[in-house]
């Protein structure tokens, strides 16, 4: 089963991906935890290109190509082999993030993102957790961290609010695989709901 975590900056995706992977491992499942952009050696190199440096480093369209190239490598080298080996793959961000950040934030490029996805990726997760959170809470959490990967960090509250609405709309569009989770709770409470939904989905597939 291929599980992804989505949501705005600071919503708790990385925290929840880690907690879910730990919980499933503790239950004896073979788990691979990975992330985007990145998740394979080549895609991690592209990660540095898209997350570091000047915000205007790439045009919107070039950026979509870089994210798609990274995703293709990640899919071929990391995700598909793990799924073929029977592992549960837990991925921090995937194509839904590109639909939002590259498809929405710099003009309406969603159709281009979807076309490239169909041509080059052609696969959706089995289960996607949207960690939904007030943009102000997410922003204050995200600002608490320091790093070099800040190309998208200075989007500001208005853009964060647009992204949140976009993710909620996406969850309706792909309602078969999305679960919307209230993220403004203790991490353990969020993790318990995520684990329960995951175990139910695993059981339904068994």
Ligand X SMILES: Nc1ncnc2c1ncn2[C@@H]1O[C@H](COP(=O)(O)OP(=O)(O)OP(=O)(O)O)[C@@H](O)[C@H]1O
Nearer to Mg ion, 9 or 63 (CB): 9
Which stretch, 11-19, 21-29, 79-87, 160-168, contacts Mg ion (CB under 5 A)? Answer: 11-19
174: which residues sit within 8 A by CB, 6+ positions away? 96, 124, 128
9 binds ligand X (CB under 6 A): yes
132 binds ligand X (CB under 6 A): no
DSSP state, 76? I
Region 140-159 residues binding ligand X, contact defined as CB under 6 A: 141-142, 144-145
**Identified binder of ligand X from the candidate list 2, 3, 4, 11, rule CB under 6 A:** 11
Q: What token pair was written down for 118?
A: 């169909």
Query: Within 13 Å of residue 55, how many CA atoms lie on the same side as its CB?
Result: 8
Question: 37 contacts which partner out of ligand X, Mg ion, none, CB within 5 to 8 A by kind?
Answer: none
| 9 annotated to a ligand binding site | yes
Phi, psi of 52 (to 5 degrees): -110, 155
By residue count, the chain amounts to 206
Q: Tell me how far apart the alpha carbons of residues 134 and 157 are, in angstroms, rounded to a whole number.
A: 10
**Identified binder of Mg ion from the candidate list 1, 4, 7, 14, rule CB under 5 A:** 14
Positions in the binding site for ligand X (CB under 6 A): 7, 9-15, 141-142, 144-145, 185-187, 190
């Amino acid at each position: 089963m291929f599980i992804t975590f989505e949501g705005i900056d600071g919503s708790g995706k990385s925290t929840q991906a880690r907690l879910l992977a730990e919980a499933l491992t503790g239950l004896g499942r073979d788990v691979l935890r990975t992330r985007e952009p990145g998740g394979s050696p080549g895609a991690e190199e592209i990660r540095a290109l898209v997350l570091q440096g000047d915000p205007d480093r790439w045009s919107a369209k070039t950026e979509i190509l870089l994210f798609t190239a990274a995703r293709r490598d990640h899919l071929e080298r990391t995700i598909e082999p793990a799924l073929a080996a029977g592992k549960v793959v837990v991925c921090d961000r995937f194509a839904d993030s590109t639909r939002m950040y590259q498809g929405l934030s710099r003009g309406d490029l969603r159709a281009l993102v979807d076309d490239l996805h169909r041509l080059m990726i052609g696969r959706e997760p089995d289960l996607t957790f949207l960690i939904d959170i007030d943009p102000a809470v997410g922003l204050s959490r995200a600002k608490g961290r320091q790093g070099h990967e800040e190309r998208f960090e200075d989007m500001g509250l208005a853009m964060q609010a647009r992204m949140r609405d976009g993710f909620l709309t996406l969850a309706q569009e792909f309602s078969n695989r999305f679960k919307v989770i209230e993220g403004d709770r203790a991490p353990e409470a969020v993790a318990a709901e995520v684990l329960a939904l995951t175990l139910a989905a695993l059981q339904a597939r068994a």
